[in-house]
């Protein structure tokens, strides 16, 4: 570092890319339950290619324990925030999870209804194979193929809708949280603010808990209009 350079204001290389990576990790923590629920809710494909009824979605992740409030060291030059805690405790994070849960629940209901419709048609074909005329049987098989193709298209559209919602929530979180983190860094004259892994420990081997600004970040985030 050149003499006279202030490490509290010196820009980091590729800072925007680094921020994007950090909040991509946050996004994964936010929507991990929705992703699991979506995978479980996806109907299984029988031999005829029709989806079956979905399974029960996974429960929401438990809230993170609140960091113990301690006086921030006056001489500190680094700090950290636990984004998983910010997610689980902030109004913004809770609202985001509620939106994803609502969309996932709606999508699961749509998949269940379509699976029941396809299974009913399969049963009609199997039970009526010996009594239906070849023309009627051909029509029902064609309708089954059409419904299976439509179910696959609908699934792709649902995944696209979920991805779009995730990106929207990520952008909203970044727009509100990143300036607050920078404000906290500047106020305390810090060089850097780190974020550990989703469990609150990954990436940090040992740290003074007084350096944790998570609760203060949640407080300021909730105060935004």
Q: What is the pLDDT of residues 85-124, one digit of tens each?
A: 888 899 998 998 899 889 999 999 999 999 999 999 999 8
- Please report which confidence band the pLDDT of residue 65 belongs to, taking 50, 70 and 90 as the band edges: low
Q: Reply yes or no on whether the pLDDT at 34 is more than 70.
A: no
Using CA atoms, how far apart are residues 55 and 37, in angstroms rounded to an integer? 8
Domain boundaries, the chain: 15-42+76-223
pTM of the shown model: 0.69
- Please report which confidence band the pLDDT of residue 28 belongs to, taking 50, 70 and 90 as the band edges: low
């Amino acid at each position: 570092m050149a003499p006279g350079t202030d490490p509290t204001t010196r820009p980091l290389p590729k800072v925007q890319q680094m921020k994007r990576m950090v909040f991509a990790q946050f996004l994964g923590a936010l929507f991990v339950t929705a992703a699991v629920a979506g995978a479980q809710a996806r109907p299984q494909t029988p031999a005829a290619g029709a989806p079956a009824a979905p399974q029960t979605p996974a429960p929401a992740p438990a809230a993170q324990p609140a960091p113990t409030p301690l006086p921030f060291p006056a001489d500190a030059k680094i700090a950290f925030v636990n984004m998983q805690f910010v997610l689980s405790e902030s109004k913004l994070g809770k609202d985001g999870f509620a939106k994803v849960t609502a969309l996932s629940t709606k999508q699961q209901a749509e998949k269940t209804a379509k699976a029941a419709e396809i299974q009913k048609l399969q049963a009609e074909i199997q039970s009526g194979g010996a009594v239906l005329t070849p023309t009627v049987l051909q029509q029902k098989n064609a309708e089954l193929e059409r419904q299976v193709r439509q179910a696959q298209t609908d699934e792709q559209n649902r995944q696209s809708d979920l991805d779009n919602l995730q990106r929207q929530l990520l952008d909203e979180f970044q727009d509100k949280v990143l300036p607050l983190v920078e404000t906290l860094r500047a106020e305390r004259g810090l060089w850097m603010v780190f974020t550990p892994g989703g469990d609150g420990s990954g990436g940090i081997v040992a740290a003074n808990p007084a350096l944790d600004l998570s609760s203060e970040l949640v407080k300021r985030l909730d105060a935004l209009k």
